[in-house]
Homo-oligomer: A and B are copies of this chain.
């Protein structure tokens, strides 16, 4: 932090339009000419189409096809939950690596799905028309219903497609994205976890870096490897500084189009609460994991995920409390308002958004804690308790499916049900001790933040303590069994209401207050925010044309930049690290211990082989696993991280500080060939 804070004095050079290399562009509005001019490349529409069809969305991560038999490279941390689900304490693939010798040994990731974007079409007018003249909840409902209809019309009941109406520019555009969907995704390779996470949380969001954070999955169709003639060519040659590169993936969410006052709400209310309660959960989980080997095994995946979210939040807090950065954001807004405000008419969107903020500040804690769907926060409902979340899906799903699709909560519209079911029926293990810890934490934090005298808290707890209630629910529920979940889902509302499962009964009992805060938020915050943001988007197009790009929304984007190091305070380093650097950094004490198999292969590895590299392209969480591609369409590596200073890119892009961290195809080749003996994959990738 000492060094990071000094970065506030770095000269910042932003504007409301995109600078060279700024922007997470949609594929239907990629600035081909500008990118070529900036980088000296010669890509064209055909290149874009090939890269798009080779790009894979895998859960919350990105990935890329690397063979014609459905082989896909992503990050190890993107398969960590799959690895955990396939492991037991006795056969723990996180410890040993997952190294199937044949395709037959590849194992299905429970609940895993992968998607390739096949089509984009504009549905802005239809969505807009549906909400015309409406406000509040009615506005939300009408639009959600129309979106559900569009998705249903386009995809019907197809199980190998997914249709999604995507909101871009915070309501400036609505696009229908159609995906080819794979519901059978198998794990083809994962290294030892420590090979992928060397340095652990301490090295996360930093560079220099020494992590083989790569893994392979394989898409299956009809029980066989999918045929994927369009894919990236594997290029494991030594990377060269200043090479132009493109990063293709699905960055999760940015808030660059938020107004000053919206950012202040994030800074003052959202991030502090989210971070503080996450920090306590982290403490509980760390102590839990120290209690026994078994607990360490159980808690590993949740801790890693939590620490990643938390550290990202720290970077964001630093951005929003950095005087220099916030001055830049203020200047951008001033420029925009100077150009556009005269034209916005009576319903000034800045004024409208300012007026919403006190309400957002008031409602945020309850909405985040009780529903966790705010779109800006990270608070996990019920601490992420899987049993609780399954029960919520069952209860709400039954209640909602009893209505016509257009009147349901949108996540239960007909077009979404197959996705809901695949999550619900997945064969995922749960651990009662962990579930109880998560529920107890959530109940106690909800009571603390909303106060014991809040009527919703009284409904949540009755006369029980968080300790008592969480223990009772977890001990009594049968929802860990997928057959039980399937029967309850298929039994519909009658089965749910007749169930004596305490978790189901509990979820039934808390529907009123949780649905109420959601409705309150959607009516008083979300709907007016959406409406104002649309007016802002129109003003922005008027002022800056289509040289602006939309905020990231978890949809496929293409960004571009160079392979290069960094030379700002707190972040001075070259573009590359090597295996030799890894050996030097190792102390032997976790998390600076080299994974055993990797260490054993040390003599077979050229110490000068590039392990990780930095690139200047614009990325954010969700970009994990994104293929890094050169002008020839060859894959050079997979994005797996960025730096703490780069976390400000949630709110604004800074060419000077923005760096993504990449595991190179060269390092992955070494791992496959020299460490883990994955000869089949090596051949499949065409490595000589």
Contacts and interface: CB of A to CB of B under 8 A. Distances in A.
Contacts of A281: 283
Interface string A243-282: 0000000000000000000001001110011011101111
A201 B448 contact: yes
A287 interface: yes
A2 B362 contact: yes
User: Would you call the interface of chain A mostly helix, strand, loop, or mixed?
Assistant: helix
Contact of A366 (B2, B284, B365, B441): B2
A279 B269 contact: no
A587 B447 CA distance: 15
B451 A202 contact: yes
A8 interface: yes
A330 interface: no
Nearest to A322: B268
Q: Which of A6, A202, A468, A592 has the most CB of B within 10 A?
A: A202
A686 B465 CA distance: 42
A202 B465 CA distance: 12
Given A2-B366, A201-B448, A448-B201, A468 B589 contact: yes
A218 B365 CA distance: 46
A445 to B, nearest CB: 10
Interface in A351-382: 358, 361-363, 365-366
A417 interface: no
B3 A451 contact: yes
A280 to B, nearest CB: 4
Contact of A6 (B362, B365, B441): B362
B589 A465 contact: yes
Interface in A580-626: 587-590, 592
Interface string A425-452: 0000000000001000100000111111
A465 B590 contact: yes
A441 B284 CA distance: 12
A228 interface: no
Interface residues of A, number: 62
Contacts of A450: 1-2
A28 interface: no
A448 B311 CA distance: 10
Given A5-B362, A362-B2, A454-B2, A321 B202 contact: no
A23 to B, nearest CB: 29
B279 A283 contact: yes
A253 to B, nearest CB: 22
A123 B199 CA distance: 55
Interface string A276-308: 110111111111101100000000000000000
Contact of A9 (B5, B284, B285, B358): B358
Contact of A280 (B272, B283, B317): B283
A463 interface: yes
A44 interface: no
A203 interface: yes
A315 to B, nearest CB: 12
A157 interface: no
A238 to B, nearest CB: 26
Number of copies: 2
A464 interface: yes
A366 B268 CA distance: 24
A9 B355 CA distance: 13
Contacts of A464: 589
A175 B77 CA distance: 61
Given A450-B1, A463-B589, A283 B276 contact: no
Contact of A282 (B280, B361, B451): B280
A326 to B, nearest CB: 10
Interface string A452-477: 10100000000111011000000000
A3 B362 CA distance: 7
A5 B451 CA distance: 13
A412 B467 CA distance: 47
Contacts of A467: 290
A277 B283 CA distance: 9
B203 A452 contact: yes
A283 B278 CA distance: 10
Contact of A1 (B8, B275, B441, B449): B449
Contact of A287 (B269, B283, B465): B283
A459 to B, nearest CB: 14
Contacts of A365: 1-2
Contact of A268 (B321, B362, B454, B590): B321
A648 to B, nearest CB: 14
Interface string A302-335: 0000000000001001000101000000000000
Contacts of A269: 5, 321
A470 to B, nearest CB: 11
A358 B8 contact: yes
A272 B9 contact: no
Contacts of A361: 5
B6 A272 contact: no
A312 to B, nearest CB: 14
A361 B570 CA distance: 14
Contacts of A286: 280, 283-284
Interface of A: 1-3, 5-6, 8-9, 199, 201-203, 206, 264, 267-269, 272-273, 275-277, 279-288, 290-291, 314, 317, 321, 323, 358, 361-363, 365-366, 437, 441, 447-452, 454, 463-465, 467-468, 587-590, 592
Given A272-B275, A291-B291, A452-B592, 5 more contacts: A202-B451, A268-B321, A272-B321, A279-B283, A283-B283
23 contacts: A1-B450, A2-B362, A2-B365, A2-B450, A5-B362, A6-B358, A201-B448, A202-B451, A202-B452, A203-B452, A272-B321, A276-B314, A277-B279, A280-B282, A280-B283, A283-B283, A283-B285, A284-B286, A284-B287, A287-B437, A291-B291, A463-B588, A463-B589
Which 10 pairs of residues, A with B, have the shortest CB-CB distance?
A283-B283, A268-B321, A287-B287, A280-B283, A279-B279, A283-B284, A465-B589, A463-B587, A279-B280, A1-B365
